[in-house]
Amino acid sequence: MNKVRLTWLGHSCFEIFSGKVILIDPFIDENPVATVSASELDPDIIAVTHGHSDHLGDTVEIAKRTGCTVVCIHEVSQYLKSKGIQTIGMNIGGTVKVDDISFTMTDARHSSSIDESEWSFDGGRAAGFVITINDISIYHAGDTGLFRDMELISELYKPDVAIVPIGGRYTMDVRDAAVAVRMLQPKLAIPMHYNTFEQIEQDPIIFRDLVKTMSNADVLIMDVNEQVDI
């Protein structure tokens, strides 16, 4: 069985590798903390949580160049199809399989305008994903505030890994994200969506320490381009 390797590329962008390469929210070339360029990435699948420019990011350029499949909510899918990109549209609660990798779309409490369309396309809803690969369940929360149904995500999907935003202002802050981890009950929690810009500066050590008081989850504070085998 192939290992599942997770790499943080900065902000909310993660690469998951296990034979196939999955890229989540590829905000790269305009990302001030990213150290790779979009032209260096060669995913088989891109998963997009919502239409904001710091999440949809370089999806169009990467997908046009590589011919990869993009998994996203229906409205973002329609926009990407208008650009000639191969997509699989879905919606909250749905599950699709791509090359034996399962993508379940979860709720997220956030907005989802497609910035680069200049508001000519409806972005639908913001979402998260539970990605199941080699019997390992990885929950990427996308941009979200805290919501009680995270307890249902725990009950239904039993995530091994929960990747949660901690930046505040646009998403949960460190306190709310720690509560989210308590509800989700993962084995491993990873913070994201912080310290990319001044508006979302946070200390991940505070998040780690709060999690320790609320749950048994391990916390991994990743450096940009750091990899972890799950």
CATH classification at residue 14 = 3.60.15.10
**Rounded average pLDDT over 132-140:** 97
How far is it, in rounded angstroms, from Cα 71 to Cα 132? 14
Looking at every residue in the chain, the average pLDDT score rounds to 97
Residue 179's pLDDT is what?
A: 98
d(Cα 74, Cα 90) in Å, to the nearest integer?
Answer: 5
* Residue in this structure with the two tokens 């379940």, named with its chain if needed: 104
Q: What is the pTM of this model?
A: 0.97
Mean pLDDT, to the nearest integer, of 139-147?
98
pLDDT band at 194 (very low <50, low <70, confident <90, very high): very high
Per the structure, the complete domain to which residue 38 belongs is given by 5-227
What integer pLDDT is reported at residue 118 of this predicted model? 80
Answer yes or no: is pLDDT of 215 > 60: yes
Give me the number of domains the chain comprises. Answer: 1
Task: Give the residue among 227, 142, 126 at the shortest CA–CA distance from 193.
Answer: 142
Nearest Cα to Cα of residue 56 among 77, 82, 39, 32: 77
What single letter denotes the amino acid at residue 228?
A: V
